[in-house]
A and B are shown apart, each in its own frame.
Chain A
């Protein structure tokens, strides 16, 4: 291109040569946070464009809450009214955690698209496409949480913990589900297809949510099962939410749940980012 120099003089915005640019090889924490929020905004736009992907978080809380309360209510607690304080925290935890599986499957589908090639070629924090997607998904948890608690109210739940207890319980569930979603995000990154993510995740989650105190008190179970139920992190989370709903107290189980959530993020966030970068 012998004419390059002449034309460059007349172009409105000439390209700054590579050598003249101020460049750095690291992404700062504020930039990482800003990239994460931008990616979360992308996630919200996607939800806005395809509202049908919210079916699960809107219908599941309504159907499951109605179903489980009326099936088990009489048998376990004598009547539906006295079962509500047991089942609503249980079903809340179960529903919202199940919702977090979708994070993994959607991440897998998303990563197969060309746009992730562009994300990888941009000078942004490597974690941002993942953390942003996970952050946007808290909207899904919020919807599921709100609907489950609303169903509880409609059926007659009047928690003694007051509004603060209910909000506290809701926030705790959302925070823990966000942490757990890193596990499914990891599956999402390493798996080959979205349906295999769904399969693995259900296999892990089904025993965890049902072999807990979410639906029934543990004391009628055989000893070996009680042992598992008592160490199951889901049980601790359910107990913590019940305490918050019933008495508004943020007890040992709540702290334990938060600690567990922190450990999950500390382990799975780096693992996920590493797996993501290796694929990149």
Chain B
């Protein structure tokens, strides 16, 4: 596990989330295998990982939806198991799959949830009108949810989580499956939430989303936190970007590898069949020198590109293995069954 600098805000504002050694097993699958998390009050915390890494299961335990098989967690100092009802008064949960009532209209949904939060009938109507307005759903308020787009559903879902103005909001993959425009709208909404004093814990599969929103990020893989830090700290650990070279004649590959080692001071990866070489690019300035060196040595490039770090590379670097899609998908569905069945 890679750990970066300690938090500075927690001492003054306290922890919104403290989790130690959380474990959840579904049959033989250890979906969450000893997760430690600390989220400072008033910050956005991103939990980054592929499908099936245990993100949803972790959130479900913190939100009192699942009972941990091991470890413990506190929300604003309240134990999620012993004081679950207190914890529920402090949190709002927006699931990966919109947790609103499909058979009802948007305003009926918000009215019902407001009533359940203990608001009177008239206060509930006022609250739902207010939220519909705020989330741009007033026009669609009376329409059945069947006709709602993915983005509208998510907005309604988030609105429902905000009725009690909870100081801590869990967002489980808030933008998965949304188109780019709606995604940016969702990001704006999340930023607005934080500016009103909420603490947000969000999970995501996208590095850029964590980068855009989160003050700190935990990278989670196979139920464990493999790295924790700010976005910059994490990216620095993988290398800002990757330099990718395609050679005119694949025979030069060895010479190029040596040149990269000498000029950039890093080890390059060679895939000989395509004459393709990749290397981490920590100092962009030095790339010019590398190119000059290659020209001097008479090595010709067919193509050159710079790739930003992807989640895949963060993973490769941090865990030594890539994102195994098939495996991840089957685990994800197992996790889903476990948490819903």
Contact = CB atoms under 8 A, between A and B. Distances in A.
Given A4-B195, A114-B98, A118-B100, A17 B167 contact: yes
B165 A114 contact: no
B1 interface: no
B249 interface: no
Interface string B86-114: 10111101010111111110001000110
A4 B64 contact: no
A115 B99 contact: yes
Interface string B140-167: 0000100000000000000010000111
Interface in A12-70: 13-19, 21, 23-27, 31, 34-35, 38-39, 41-42, 45-46, 49-50
Interface string B276-299: 000000000000000000000000
B215 A115 contact: no
A79 interface: no
A118 B42 contact: no
Nearest to A22: B89
Contacts of A192: 341
Interface in B52-87: 63-66, 75-78, 82-86
B197 interface: yes
Contact of B104 (A4, A38, A45): A45
B86 A49 contact: no
Contacts of B42: 1, 4
B6 interface: no
Nearest to B101: A115
A35 B283 CA distance: 60
Interface stretch (A120-128, A159-167, A234-242, A244-252): A120-128
A122 B163 CA distance: 11
Given A1-B42, A13-B196, A38-B115, A25 B86 contact: yes
Contacts of B95: 114, 117-118
B196 A15 contact: yes
Nearest to B78: A23
Contact of A115 (B64, B86, B100, B197): B100
A280 B338 CA distance: 10
Given A35-B116, A49-B103, A118-B99, A4 B165 contact: no
B47 to A, nearest CB: 17
B196 A46 contact: no
A21 B194 CA distance: 19
Nearest to A192: B341
Nearest to A8: B197
Interface residues of B, number: 54
A3 interface: yes
A137 B147 CA distance: 27
B16 interface: yes
Given A42-B101, A121-B63, A21 B90 contact: yes
Most buried by B among A35, A116, A122: A122
Nearest to A47: B103
A23 B102 CA distance: 31
A226 B292 CA distance: 102
A38 B124 CA distance: 12
B90 to A, nearest CB: 5
Interface string A246-280: 00000000000000000000000000000000011
A27 B66 CA distance: 20
B321 interface: no
Contact of B116 (A17, A45, A122): A122
B99 A117 contact: yes
A3 B195 contact: yes
A25 B116 contact: no
Nearest to B160: A118
Contacts of A19: 14, 76-77
B85 A41 contact: no
Contacts of A15: 165-167, 196-198
A52 to B, nearest CB: 12
Contact of B85 (A16, A18, A25, A112): A25
A27 to B, nearest CB: 7
A279 B339 CA distance: 8
B117 interface: yes
A4 B85 contact: no
B165 A18 contact: no
B207 interface: no
Contacts of A119: 116
5 contacts: A4-B197, A13-B196, A15-B167, A15-B196, A118-B100
Interface of A: 1, 3-4, 7-8, 11, 13-19, 21, 23-27, 31, 34-35, 38-39, 41-42, 45-46, 49-50, 112-124, 128, 192, 279-280
Q: List the 6 closest pairs (A to B, CB-CB), nearest first.
A: A18-B76, A15-B197, A114-B99, A123-B88, A7-B195, A118-B99
Given A13-B196, A49-B103, A115-B101, 13 more contacts: A11-B197, A15-B197, A19-B14, A21-B167, A24-B85, A27-B85, A39-B116, A45-B104, A112-B340, A117-B95, A118-B113, A120-B64, A280-B65
